[in-house]
Amino acid sequence: MTDAPTGSFREILREIPTRPTEQPELRAADVPSDPLLLLRDWLEQEAERETPVAHAFALATVSPEGEPQARTVILKDLDDAVWFATPSTSAKGVALAHTPVAEAVFYWAKTGRQVRVRGSVAPAPRDVSEQDFRARHPKARAGVIIGRQGTELDDPSEVERLRDEALAAIEENPDEVPESWTAYRLEPDHVDVVQLRPASDGERVEYTRSEHGWSARDLWP
């Protein structure tokens, strides 16, 4: 860290409020035996509170070169797996084809809750990916049809032209799904849950999965 002129910026950072509202205590003895039930319960509470984009999470993967990569994606469903969708041609799709593991990190500031879900990732059957794509807004579908995510944008004026072309193609053929669009399921074997508190570090519970099922223990936060 350097001194002034960044000193005032450090001051700004220190003054950002970090303390959440009071929530029930989190202890291994009281949590659901399946951590995805806890995640579902907390997501339902965030939805109830109308937390903006509460179903977004950071998805961390490992690139073929062994580098960490993380970005935000949207939760598509939650059963015995965490579901998300993306083009298989994207950097995360390429990473997952090479090293099919990931960690999903959910964080909700108001309630001071973090859930980290780690495990193996597999593409869903084709019809699930197709259903997901057809349920997307046409503008979101257009981006995937254009198929240039992550490549250099040489000419910004092309954006509108290619989007209009893609929207016209969708109107003409509304059921068409690009081959690359893929729903993925992250099957957890490790879940780490943190509940922050207004006046302390809060609590932390770690779930691990063995052939006997899930077990939970309290950790120092």
Ligand X SMILES: Cc1cc2nc3c(=O)[nH]c(=O)nc-3n(C[C@H](O)[C@H](O)[C@H](O)COP(=O)(O)O)c2cc1C
> Which residues contribute to the site for ligand X (CB under 6 A)?
53, 56, 69, 71-74, 84-86, 90-92, 149-150
Q: Is 139 annotated as a binding residue?
A: no
- Compare residues 144 and 196 and give the one whose CB is closer to ligand X: 144
The nearest distance, CB 118 to ligand X, in angstroms, is: 18
Q: Is 113 annotated as a binding residue?
A: no
Contact 156, 63 (CB under 8 A): no
Q: Is 197 annotated as a binding residue?
A: no
Cβ–Cβ contacts within 10 Å for residue 167, how many? 15
- Compare residues 69 and 120 and give the one whose CB is closer to ligand X: 69
- Compare residues 85 and 216 and give the one whose CB is closer to ligand X: 85
The nearest distance, CB 8 to ligand X, in angstroms, is: 29
Q: Is 23 annotated as a binding residue?
A: no
CA–CA gap between residue 52 and residue 210 (Å, rounded)? 35
Over the Cα atoms of the chain, what is R_g? 20
CA–CA distance from 23 to each of 16, 18, 34, 196, 199 (Å)? 20, 15, 20, 8, 12
Of 124, 112, 125, nearest to 193 (Cα)? Answer: 112
The nearest distance, CB 89 to ligand X, in angstroms, is: 9
The nearest distance, CB 211 to ligand X, in angstroms, is: 32
Residue 118 exposure: Cα atoms within 13 Å on the Cβ side: 12
Angle between helices 158-172 and 138-146 (to 10 degrees): 110
- Compare residues 26 and 145 and give the one whose CB is closer to ligand X: 145
Q: Is 76 annotated as a binding residue?
A: yes
Q: Is 191 annotated as a binding residue?
A: no
- Compare residues 74 and 159 and give the one whose CB is closer to ligand X: 74
Cα angle 32-72-13, degrees, rounded to a multiple of 5:
95
Contact 102, 190 (CB under 8 A): no
Cβ–Cβ contacts within 10 Å for residue 80, how many? 9
38: Cα separation from own chain's centroid: 16
Contact 87, 177 (CB under 8 A): no
Q: Is 74 annotated as a binding residue?
A: yes
The nearest distance, CB 205 to ligand X, in angstroms, is: 27
The nearest distance, CB 52 to ligand X, in angstroms, is: 9
- Compare residues 37 and 74 and give the one whose CB is closer to ligand X: 74
* Binding-site annotation: residue ranges: 71-76, 92, 114, 204
* Binding-site annotation: residue ranges for FMN: 71-76, 92, 114, 204
